[in-house]
Amino acid sequence: MPAGTCTAVVGLQWGDEGKGKAVDLLAAEHDAVVRYNGGANAGHSVVVGGTRYALHLVPSGILYPGKLAVIGNGVVIDPEKLLEELAALESRGVDVSGVVVSDRAHVVGPYHKDEDELREGVLREAAGHSGGEIGTTKRGIGPAYADKAQRSTAIRVGDLLHGGDLRRKLALVCEFKNRQLAGFRPVEAPPYHPETLLALMGGWGERLRPRVRDTTYLLHDMLASGKRLLFEGANATLLDVDHGTYPFVTASSCAVLGVGPGTGVSERHIGQVLGVMKAYTTRVGRGPMPTELHDATAERIRQRGREFGTTTGRPRRVGWLDLVAARYSAMVSGVTGVVLTLLDVLEGLDEVRVCTGYRVDGSVTDRFIPDGYRLERAEPVWRSFPGFHGDISGVRRRSELPGSARSYLDFIEGSMGVPLRQIGVGPGREQTIRS
Ligand code: GDP
Ligand code: IMO
Ligand code: MG
């Protein structure tokens, strides 16, 4: 295969940019959709033919019948959630035969979810002095990636298929987890027991067995026969463990840089990197967000944009578009084009703003500050645009948008330095302006 025919889709903000919809649309032109990071913390809402589907671990290409949907080695899999999700999709008539799972993806166990919840509780109690929780989704993501780095207490999907290995590993897991969490768990909580976990996790293995593959070879075989892959980033660049607003981030590599380690496929195969961003900004959980609003405009956007988490149902924090942050994310992932979503949500406002710089300690910078505490000091420098009026959800050409909406888009495009490839004017697959 000639280099560079694959595509990657990544979020440029703090998640929920509408990556699921963008991936669903692009899946038609690719042979497989591949997840490379994150876990059941992700929540992607995709609307097809008026029906809304919520996806967490299953790649968003699954709504095209027969499409291969690969969960790569970089993902942490909660098999209970995955099996539930597959059953729910099947019960709605979705063909899930194309879902395959890497034998090297790490498993989120019940003890990871307990630890996630317990850690957040301790951080909350410590808020009075130095702490404060991260506001995680409590899906066990951080503890599972920590065990991956720790190695001795990690369980991979392949281990679930081998009873002897699993028994041996679970004995060690219980040894560590019972001691580590003893001081945090309620006294009445029973200790983790290897045989109980073996029955649960071995059962997951049996149900997943037909889907488990060496996905690295699978993907390379596809590339060798000229197939096109679509890499789907979960979470988003500002939540990336290295490049985001640490420590208010998730635990994986969400930028396009995570594709290599998370799939075993070199970035050399990617020709097009699409960065997805909303026409405004949202964030779930704690951490800095320089353009956050706390007024009636925020509430209006929240209601019109259905800005409530797909995974946890939490109301999302809302603010104006932060171009300093979006440009930084686009730089980190080397994006070649932007997917701008939810433009329709801004309809009816008299004024729309974007942040073009930060004022920090008396001077102005156009550089992002990828640190969860130092970014708190940034004050936005605003640029204001007249709002636009009239329903745009039926518009399919950029030239047919109201003039003030076009000026807003032109400014964003100029500032990002790459073309706007898709503009979202509604949640439906077809409610998209493409160029
Ligand atoms: P993801 O996590 O990046 O896949 O995004 P989510 O699915 O969590 O959140 C995006 C939300 O916006 C979902 O409810 C989508 O259905 C919706 N959505 C995506 N694009 C558009 C759009 O252009 N307009 C409107 N009104 N909704 C959209
Ligand atoms: P999608 O794929 C929005 C946020 C959480 C929390 C922080 C850490 O739907 O865009 P974690 O449970 O990962 O340890 O939580 O990261 N977060 C997301 N916010 N969308 C997501 O995914 C997110 N995944 C993680 O709210 O602040
Ligand atoms: Mg989401």
The number of angstroms, rounded, from the C-alpha of 33 to the middle of its chain's C-alpha atoms is 14
Q: Judge whether 13 and 36 are in contact, CB under 8 Å.
A: no
pLDDT of residue 128: 67
pLDDT of residue 1: 41
Nearest CA to ligand 1 atom 17: 427
Mean pLDDT lowest among 23-32, 61-70, 180-189, 404-413: 180-189
Q: Is any ligand 2 atom within 6 A of the Cβ of residue 238?
A: no
Mean pLDDT lowest among 136-145, 167-176, 183-192, 346-355: 183-192
Active site residue 389: no
Q: Which residues pair with 33 in a beta bridge?
A: 69, 230
Residues 273, 4: Cα–Cα separation, whole Å: 10
Active site residue 103: no
Q: Which residue is it, tokens 């790569």?
A: 72
Taking every pair of Cα atoms in the chain, the longest distance, rounded to a whole number of angstroms, is 67
Mean pLDDT score of the chain: 96
pLDDT beyond 60 at 130: no
The structure tokens listed for 362 are: 């008396």
| Residue type, position 362, single letter | G
3-state secondary structure of 10: strand
Provide the pLDDT confidence category of residue 185 given band limits of 50, 70 and 90: confident
Nearest CA to ligand 1 atom 25: 426
Q: Is any ligand 1 atom within 6 A of the Cβ of residue 19?
A: yes
Residues 144, 98: Cα–Cα separation, whole Å: 26
Q: Is any ligand 1 atom within 6 A of the Cβ of residue 342?
A: yes
Q: Is any ligand 1 atom within 6 A of the Cβ of residue 396?
A: no
Q: Would the CA dihedral through 427, 428, 429, 431 be positive or negative? A: negative
pLDDT of residue 66: 81
3-state secondary structure of 71: strand
Mean pLDDT lowest among 103-112, 309-318, 411-420: 309-318
pTM for this model (two decimals): 0.97
CA gyration radius, the chain: 22
